[in-house]
Amino acid sequence: MTSYPGGGWPPPASGVPPPPSGGGWPPATGEGLPPPPGGARPPASPGAPLGSPAAGVATPPAAGRAPAPGAPGGAPSPVAPVAIAVANPAHWADVATAFERQTGVPLNVNVEYLEAFVATAVPALFLADATGQYGLLRGFMLDLVVAQCERNRGILEGASAQGVSLFVVGIPHDEPEPGVPIRLKLGISATSRTGLSKAVEQFWDVSVNQTATISLVKCPDCGAPLAPGELVCHYCHVSTAQVVVHPLLVSRLRLY
């Protein structure tokens, strides 16, 4: 079982130096930003589109508090990653082979990166469902999936996630989705509002290098601080939305 005690997801966009804490989520504007200090590029560039010179194998960042989702380097995220165990990590190599066969390009995400993503996306989902702060999900899920979660608020009954058992199913062929999705089965251990333990099972489809909308930490016009995922400034009503490419996004979510 892998623990990410203080952060762990996601890594910075291509060429974006991580913050001092070792986090770095989410990417802001992607390509064109300066390399990290010393001139060396990071070993992986998960924010780069498939087929670009910067594309490589995405690796999880060092543990640390990540900036709030949707922010290119702002306030610490209220979401701490949970412990995660992948039941069949060796199967990821088969998934990568199938992905390349279908797309013609290699899969630029490894299983450690997947672990770090899920370890933070799961508690973000539970917290968003309990509080209504669905901006927390931006950068983890396609915009349509964020809207789905908002329509079904309360389905998780205020529980909080404690850990995840992850099983990599493979590439589904049942319904068309953005890109070539990879199906995951999640067994989530959670604690109810009353302190009782409960088990939650979900199926997620994740897609590689898809676009999603995130927001800034501060309004670029008036400088007002913004809540995670706030796409229009509450003070001056200027748009703070940015559409960026993410290495992994949940493209389909079966909560129940």
Tens-digit pLDDT string for the chain (256 aa)? 655 444 444 444 433 333 333 333 343 333 333 333 333 323 333 333 333 333 344 444 333 323 333 333 334 456 899 999 999 999 999 999 999 998 899 999 999 999 999 999 999 999 999 999 998 998 899 999 999 999 999 999 999 999 999 999 999 876 555 568 999 999 999 999 999 999 999 999 999 988 888 878 889 889 888 888 788 998 899 998 888 888 899 999 986 5
Q: How many angstroms separate the CA atoms of 204 and 183, rounded?
A: 6
Domains held by the chain: number: 1
pLDDT of residue 214: 82
In a domain, 55, yes or no: no
In a domain, 64, yes or no: no
Token pair for residue 48? 């780069």
Residue 146 near residue 137, CB atoms below 8 Å: yes
In a domain, 128, yes or no: yes
Collapse the DSSP code of 65 into the 3-class scheme (helix H, G, I; strand E, B; otherwise coil) and give the result: coil
Residue 118 near residue 164, CB atoms below 8 Å: yes
In a domain, 124, yes or no: yes
Give the H/E segment covering residue 191. strand 182-191
Q: How many angstroms separate the CA atoms of 247 and 198, rounded?
A: 31
Q: How many angstroms separate the CA atoms of 163 and 155, rounded?
A: 18
pLDDT of residue 36: 32
In a domain, 141, yes or no: yes
Q: What DSSP state is assigned to residue 61?
A: P
Collapse the DSSP code of 101 into the 3-class scheme (helix H, G, I; strand E, B; otherwise coil) and give the result: helix
Q: How many angstroms separate the CA atoms of 226 and 186, rounded?
A: 32
Rg (CA), the chain: 17
The Cα-based distances of 241 to 28, 49, 118, 143, 214 in angstroms read 10, 20, 24, 12, 6
In a domain, 192, yes or no: yes
Q: How many angstroms separate the CA atoms of 113 and 57, rounded?
A: 9
In a domain, 250, yes or no: yes
Rounded to 10 deg, the angle between the 143-151 and 111-131 helix axes is 40
The Cα-based distances of 33 to 23, 30, 71, 75, 213 in angstroms read 17, 7, 15, 21, 19
Specify the pairing of strand 182-191 against strand 160-170.
Answer: antiparallel
In a domain, 3, yes or no: no
Q: How many angstroms separate the CA atoms of 109 and 93, rounded?
A: 11
**Chain centre to alpha carbon of residue 144:** 15
Phi-psi region of 191 (alpha: psi -120 to 50; beta: other; left: phi over 0): beta
For residue 96, give its domain range. Answer: 83-254
